[in-house]
């Protein structure tokens, strides 16, 4: 039991620190790397709770897809972050207010979570199918609409990232299949009359 407590407090501390560094890091690439660390440590917390399926899902989906997509978008957009951070202090009062509201919400959720009637069940109570079957049964019966809407939000985010990275920029060579297929021999072949002893 002592080893479990040490593992929990270690992973929880790393999760909180890395989550804070996601928004505090100056380099956006470092922010994405701290986000990946947050996902991994959160997966460790899920394993300690007995939810191995959720831990695997977090690593495969979020680390393997979403975080890599964030990193791809950050590196491809070539955003002037110095220009974006100019005037940052003017938004500090609004950001502080939103932070206070979030902390209040966390406290409300935490107070409801520790009550006996809302306590988490042990993995043995889920039956032979385990947490995967229990989670699937809940998602596709009680929360099927929310589950489908979440999928649509992720799909929209993926389309938005593709549209942002496909903008036309000068000086960048792009492949045009229709032009390549439709060209003629006179457009593709250039004949040079090279005289003896001279180069092209």
What is d(CA 87, CA 50) in angstroms, rounded to the nearest whole number? 46
DSSP state of 115: S
Model pLDDT for residues 9-53, shown as the tens digit of each residue: 898 999 999 999 888 887 777 888 888 889 889 998 888 888 788
Rounded (5°) CA angle 142-143-149: 155
Closest CA to 41 of 26, 24, 58, 22: 58
Residue with more model confidence, 133 or 148: 148
| CB distance 55 to 40 below 8 Å | no
Model pLDDT for residues 159-176, shown as the tens digit of each residue: 887 887 776 667 777 778
Q: What is the pLDDT of residue 164?
A: 78
Residue with more model confidence, 123 or 193: 193
**Mean per-residue pLDDT for 114-143?**
66
Class of domain 1-79: mainly alpha
Whether the predicted model's global pTM rises above the 0.75 cut? no
Q: Return residue ranges of the chain for CATH 1.20.120.1200.
A: 1-79
Model pLDDT for residues 62-119, shown as the tens digit of each residue: 888 777 777 777 777 666 666 666 776 777 888 889 989 988 888 887 776 554 554 4
**pLDDT at residue 135 greater than cutoff 90:** no
Confidence band for 145, pLDDT divided at 50, 70 and 90: very high
Three-state DSSP at 147 gives helix
Q: What is the pLDDT of residue 16?
A: 92
**pLDDT at residue 4 greater than cutoff 80:** yes
**Mean per-residue pLDDT for 119-130?**
56
Q: What is the pLDDT of residue 118?
A: 47
């Amino acid at each position: 039991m002592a080893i479990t407590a040490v593992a929990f407090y270690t992973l929880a501390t790393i999760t909180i620190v890395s989550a804070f560094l996601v928004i505090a890091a100056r380099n956006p690439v470092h922010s994405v790397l701290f986000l990946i660390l947050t996902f991994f440590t959160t997966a460790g917390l899920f394993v300690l709770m007995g939810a191995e399926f959720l831990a695997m899902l977090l690593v495969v989906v979020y680390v393997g897809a979403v975080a890599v997509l964030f990193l791809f978008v950050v590196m491809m957009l070539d955003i002037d972050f110095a220009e974006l951070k100019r005037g940052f202090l003017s938004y500090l009062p609004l950001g502080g207010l939103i932070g206070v509201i979030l902390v209040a919400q966390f406290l409300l959720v935490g107070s409801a979570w520790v009550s006996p009637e809302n306590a988490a069940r042990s993995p043995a109570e889920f039956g032979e199918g385990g947490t995967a079957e229990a989670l699937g049964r809940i998602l596709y019966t009680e929360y099927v609409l929310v589950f489908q809407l979440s999928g649509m939000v992720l799909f929209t985010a993926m389309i938005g990232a593709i549209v942002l990275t496909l903008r036309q920029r000068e000086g960048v060579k792009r492949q045009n299949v229709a032009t390549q297929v439709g060209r003629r021999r006179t457009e593709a072949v250039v004949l040079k009359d090279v005289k003896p002893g001279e180069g092209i």
